[in-house]
Every structure is written in structure tokens, then in C-alpha cells.
Amino acid sequence: MSSNPSDQGARGGGLPAATPFAGLTPDAVLDAAEALGLSPDGRLFALNSYENRVYRVGRTDQAPVVLKFYRAGRWSDAQILEEHGFAQELAAADLPVAAPLTLQGNTLHHHAPRARLAAFPLCPGTAPELDAPGARELLGRTLARIHAVGARRRFLHRPTLERSVPAALARERLLDSPLLPEHMRPAYAQVSQNLLAGIELAFDGTGPLELIRLHGDCHLGNILWQATGPLFVDLDDCMNGPRMQDLWMFLSGSAREQQRQWLDIMDGYAQFGTLPFAELRLIEALRATRMLHHAAWIAERWADPAFPRAFPWAGEARFWEGYVGDLRAQCEQLEDPPLLRMLAMRDGSGP
């Protein structure tokens, strides 16, 4: 992904970027809800979120809503509004996506002095169980429909997933972080450089890619399962990129297990879209990118008190020793992607 321009106006008042939610007390959340005309009844429940802050807010006369407060300096207003517009476009196409509410003529709101927020409907649902009969096929069908809408145009302000660029940026951030133990820096520097080379080779092997608007962070934690199927939430990381970015995170386990999962997803996806076989080369490259990004993200946010509480093991040297070992193993996966090999054997063709 390309780097994100900050919205300096959202920071205001000199609040340190490391603790952007220090002033977001329960009273402040309820004041913001009142200012939007939501008639809060005082019931407030914090929902699971690290990058932003998200709350369920009870209302005196209507169903509860969800308020999302954006982390200062991460996205510009233009980028957030593109997120909102994409979600609303998907919802207008009868796709199951949690889209922001339009209140007082807008979806993005500024609450003095620093907060930017949006309101969303409270959507019911349970955790997905993709091993249930037909679940993966339904997931694939829905994602193909989302991608058909996403292909209509490109984002102008949101990031674009460009080959090894996001992985290289993550590598630089972690090497600059004091959280990475000094004795692990040479090993991390070498193995991460090897991963960058492998990611580049994977993109070389796919040929020209069509980049479309994507959910961008499409994993089970961002899906609620309803009686009618999946409901997609939290488009905070939506981007331009290859379709595979929204698909690979649903694959796990052995190569044989991933093959079964992939074929089930594609049974549904093929009903509304097509995916070039060459994009299978990107699965392990995108997995490597996420591995590099996740560790750098924790290190970059470490001064936010929520992160040491959520990821206490990141402060221990043994975690980083194991992490470098995982990166070495991922280098091997990049050299010989197991799912690609198994599917090529199944089809009787080379990758």
C-alpha cells in the first residue's frame, strides 16, 4: 500500500499521536452522540478494536448504533469519505455490508476538538463457521459480487497495494523501532530482505494485474454471519489491489485442506466473477506481506496503552526469535507455494 497522508487538522491541540484517544472518555463519547442527534440513553459498551475506537451506544427512542472514532493522523478526510462511499455503493447494490449512516447530511463528523467519527447501524450476527455446508461457496459468491462493484472504478485517495511496497515500508518501520531486540536485528534484516525479493518474484509471475477496489482486510474477524449469509464490516483498510487480497486469508491448514477450502470458495465465486489462475502465485506473497506488516504495526503503536495490554508477548525477546523463524519458514513457502503446486497437480498442468 502507498503511505497514508495524515490529517493534521484532526490532531489539533498538540495531542501526542501515540495516545490519540486519551481524551475519549465515556462522557466524551456520549456528548458526540448527543451532538449528532442520536439521543443516547447513557448505555455505552466498548467493542473490540485497536486501530480505532468503536462503541455500541444505546438510544432512548430507537435501536442502538455503533460509533467509530478514527485514529488521528492515519487517514485523511478524503480517504475516509471514499471508504464511506464504497460501503454505501455496495449497500445500494444489495450487498451485505455495514455502511455508515447519513446524519445531518454527512457520514463523517468532527467533534471538538480532535475527534472524527461515523455512525453505523448495529448489525446482528454470529462468528462465521466456514466448515458448515455451503458456507464457503456462499462466501465466494458474495465476494465475487463485491468485486464486480469494486471493478467499476478505482479509488482516487485510498492506498494501492503495489507489489512489495507495503512490505518494504513495514520492514523499515520495524527496523527503526526500539521494540525489535538489538540481537535480532541482523537476522530480521536478512530474512525480511529475502521475503521482499520473493514477493517481487511472485508478482512478476502473475503478469499484468487488474487492480480493483477491495475490502482490503477481509478475514473472519470482519464478517458477521446472519441467516442469509456473511455480512462484511469495517472497510477501514479498503484499497485498490488484486482480487486475491480479499480471498487468501480464508485459507489455512495443510496444502490439502487449503485446496478443499479454495475449491469451495471458487465454486461460489465463479457464479459472478472470474479469477485468473496466475493470481494464485500471490497467496504466499500476500501472506508474507501481512506477516511483516502486523509486527511493524504493533511496534509502531506500542506507545498506545491498548497495544501492550493486547499484545504483551511483543515485549519479550523470545517472541521476536520465534517471529524470525516464522519468516524463514515463509521464505520456503514463497519458493514453492503449496496450494499452487497441489492445484497444478490436480489439473495436470504446471503452475
Top-level class of domain 135-347: mainly alpha
User: Residue 18 has what pLDDT?
Assistant: 62
CB 91 within 8 A of CB 99: yes
Cell numbers given for 304: 498506545
Report the DSSP beta bridge partners of residue 55: 46, 67
Q: Which tens digit of pLDDT belongs to each residue from 45-102?
A: 999 899 999 999 999 999 999 999 999 989 999 999 999 999 999 999 999 999 999 9
Where do we find the cell 492445484?
Answer: 343
**Nearest alpha-carbon partner for 116 in 75, 146, 147:** 75
Say if residues 271 and 141 touch (Cβ distance below 8 Å): yes
- 3-state DSSP assignment of residue 198: helix
Active site residue 41: no
Query: What is the pLDDT confidence band of residue 15, given thresholds at 50, 70 and 90?
Result: very low
User: Residue 311, SS3?
Assistant: coil
Chain-centre distance of CA 52, in angstroms?
Answer: 12
- Tens digit of pLDDT for each residue in 170-191? 999 999 999 999 999 999 999 9
**Parallel/antiparallel/unpaired status of strands 223-226 and 229-232:** antiparallel
Percent of residues, the chain, with pLDDT higher than 90? 84
> Under DSSP, is residue 207 helix (H, G, I), strand (E, B) or coil?
coil
Q: How far apart are the first and last CA of the chain?
A: 27
pTM of the model: 0.90
Confidence of residue 13 (pLDDT cuts 50, 70, 90): very low
Catalytic residue among 7, 217, 236, 246: 217
Where do the structural domains in the chain lie, given as residue ranges? 8-121, 135-347
pLDDT for 19-54, tens place per residue? 778 889 999 999 999 999 999 999 999 998 999 999
For residue 2, what pLDDT band results from cuts at 50, 70 and 90?
very low
- Across the range 309-317, mean pLDDT stands at 96
C-alpha 163/C-alpha 160 separation (Å) is: 9
Distance CA 99, CA 107 (A): 9
Give me the CATH topology for the region 8-121.
Phosphorylase Kinase; domain 1 (3.30.200)
The count of other CB atoms within 10 Å of the CB of residue 126 is 9
Write the single-letter amino acid at 256: R
The one catalytic residue among 27, 94, 234, 267 = 234
Whether 234 is a known active-site residue: answer yes
3 state DSSP class of 115? strand
Rounded to whole angstroms, how far apart are CA atoms 230 and 248? 17
Q: Where are the beta strands (DSSP E) in the chain?
A: 40-47, 53-59, 65-69, 109-111, 115-121, 212-214, 223-226, 229-232, 239-241
Q: What average pLDDT does range 153-160 have in this prediction?
A: 98
